[in-house]
Amino acid sequence: MSEQPLDPTTSEVDETVATENEQSAEALDPATVLKDELRGLYGDWYVIHSYAGYENRVKTNLETRIQSLNMEDYIFQIEVPMEEVTEIKNAQKKTVRRVRIPGYVLVRMELTDESWGAVRHTPGVTGFVGNAHQPTPLSLDEVFLMLAPSMLSDQPAEAAKAGESAKSAPAIAVDFEVGESVTVTDGPFENLPATISEINAESQKLKVLVSIFGRETPVELAFNQVAKI
């Protein structure tokens, strides 16, 4: 339990300051907090190719190699971007986690000849994205774009808040067409162009294709999260 600030003149709890601190904490945007955390991490983020369906196995293999090769001071973190989706099987709805972009794994590391070799020669890795021997690190915005959906979905309070917002959002008339180009206006893909591939009028949602690393990736968005171009 955190200590409450005291009024120096009375040695009593200063309720005004305490209230302001609580309001300030509540006002923190989880996305902003995550971006600040990513900004403060040591090393650069790189993207490696893997065989589709082997992303988590590559992560396990690389974590094992880091220990066996004593590379803990050079390779710090491996992430497989994930997403939660609702599947319907045998008339039953089930929420499952799946790889967001098959064939890609993110690695935070200090790039040296030794660390490059440790990653490149990990079973299941087919290479770095970009220049094979001198890969270009991701920008902060690119890292956030890749990791935010899975990391933010792990926060129950934020998920509940998002659910409440979705319930309270007014119904929007369908004014979109499959194949139409739109701009994403909310979420980690904000300001990116997208192409509509599916429309679900009942749930007020769209499935759009967003280009990430030159590859079209399906993303589910609400009607009010996109705008016509």
**DSSP-assigned letter for residue 209:** E
Q: Which residue has the higher pLDDT, 94 or 53?
A: 53
pLDDT of residue 90: 66
- CATH number for the region 41-152 comes to 3.30.70.940
What does the mean pLDDT of the chain come to?
78
Cβ neighbours of 66 (radius 10 Å): 22
Residue type, 141: D
pLDDT in the model for residue 107: 96
Collapsing DSSP states into helix, strand and coil, what is residue 180?
coil
Whether 111 contacts 46, CB under 8 Å: yes
Q: Is the pLDDT confidence value at 3 over 70?
A: no
What's the CA gap between 150 and 188, in Å, rounded? 11
Per-residue pLDDT tens over the stretch 39-78? 889 999 999 999 888 999 999 999 999 999 999 999 999 9
pLDDT value at residue 87: 67
Confidence of residue 20 (pLDDT cuts 50, 70, 90): low
Task: Give backbone dihedrals phi and psi of 201, rounded to 5 degrees, phi first.
Answer: -65, -35
Q: What is the pLDDT of residue 69?
A: 96
Query: Comparing 4 with 185, which gets the higher pLDDT?
Result: 185
> What is the tens place of the pLDDT at every residue in 136-192?
898 888 888 888 766 666 554 444 444 444 444 444 446 788 889 999 988 778 888
Per-residue pLDDT at 166? 40
- Whether 62 and 145 have beta carbons less than 8 Å apart is answered as no
Q: Hey, what CATH class is 171-228 in? A: mainly beta
What was the pLDDT predicted at 15? 56
CA distances from 45 to 106, 143, 156, 165 (A): 7, 7, 27, 33
- In terms of phi and psi (left: phi > 0; alpha: psi -120 to 50; beta: otherwise), the region of 127 is left
Q: Is the distance from CB of 106 to CB of 135 less than 8 angstroms?
A: no
So where are the chain's domains? 41-152, 171-228
Which of the pair, 8 or 149, is modelled with greater confidence? Answer: 149
pLDDT at 150: 66
Over the stretch 102-149, which tens digit does the pLDDT of each residue have? 889 999 999 999 999 999 999 999 999 887 788 989 888 888 888 876
